[in-house]
Amino acid sequence: MYEYRKRVPAEYRAYFPRTSSGRLKAEWKQSLQTDDVATARKRWFAQNEKFEKTLEAARLLSTPTDAPRSGQRLILAKQLVESLGLLPSQAPILKHSATDEDYRKFKEVSASWTEKLQEAKDQIFGVLDDVTTDEARQRLDYESGVWVSENYVTPRQKTPAKFRHLETALSIMTGEVQVSEEDTWFDAVELYLATNKSKKIREPEKGRRWEVKTRA
């Protein structure tokens, strides 16, 4: 049975999806599920393309940033998501005049895009999981034995400022923050709304009126 294997560069391992046990991945390994050489070659190239895209995403995620303000944070997040090809405006579109063949191709492209979106989200979640873990508190929990309790929850700290654009990137990917093709005042308002809603709890009707008034 053939398999695909490639070493993950040490400097990017923290930005790659984790193993099933949550550890950093030192090697990208995937069974090609075949003993046939021709089939294995075709699947190898497909798996290699997936690896290279994940590596490129890791490079983008690892790019050093300062601690940007909210407006700059949105620009950085938007540039990151756009570089990954995952802005909502970059999603596959099926035209109303589509033929059956167009629909078939759309389903294939859409499935691929959705998979890429989920993989990128997983990568970002992994980075945020690392930087928000309160290691000092976690060490104390290990020493005291608290961590073995059934309902133990990993202690968290606030996201460091230089990583907050990744939170914004996730909000863009999920549609929580809507962005336009160009950097506009609309983008800044959408980021403000999403950030404010995450900090304050309003009654549904009051929240709806507040959003309408803010966007006006």
pLDDT digits 0-9 by tens, 10-32: 999 988 888 877 788 899 999 99
Please give the pLDDT value at position 67. 63
Tens of pLDDT, residue by residue over 32-56, are 999 999 999 999 999 999 999 889 8
Contacts of 103 (CB under 8 A, 6+ apart): 94
Quick one: pLDDT at residue 182? 55
Pairing of strands 27-31, 3-7: antiparallel
Q: Residue 58: is its pLDDT beyond 50?
A: yes
Q: Note down the domain range covering 24.
A: 1-63
Give the model's confidence band at 214: pLDDT under 50 very low, under 70 low, under 90 confident, else very high.
very low
Q: Which residues contact 195 (CB under 8 A, 6 or more apart)?
A: 70
Q: Which residues contact 83 (CB under 8 A, 6 or more apart)?
A: 60
Do 193 and 97 reside in the same domain of the chain? Answer: yes
pLDDT, residue 96, reads 86
Residue 208 is predicted with a pLDDT of 45
Q: Tokens at residue 198, please? A: 């995450």
Residues 80, 135 within the same domain: yes
Q: How far apart are the first and last CA of the chain?
A: 61
Over the stretch 135-183, which tens digit does the pLDDT of each residue have?
A: 999 999 999 988 888 889 999 999 988 888 899 999 998 888 877 665 5
**197 pLDDT more than 60:** no
Judged against a pLDDT cut of 90, whether residue 5 lies above it is answered with yes
Of 23, 46, 63, the residue at which a domain comes to its end is 63
pLDDT in tens, 96-134: 888 999 999 999 999 999 999 998 998 999 899 989 999
Residue 123 shares a structural domain with residue 16: no
If asked whether residues 75 and 54 sit together in one domain, one would say: no
Question: Domain count of the chain?
Answer: 2
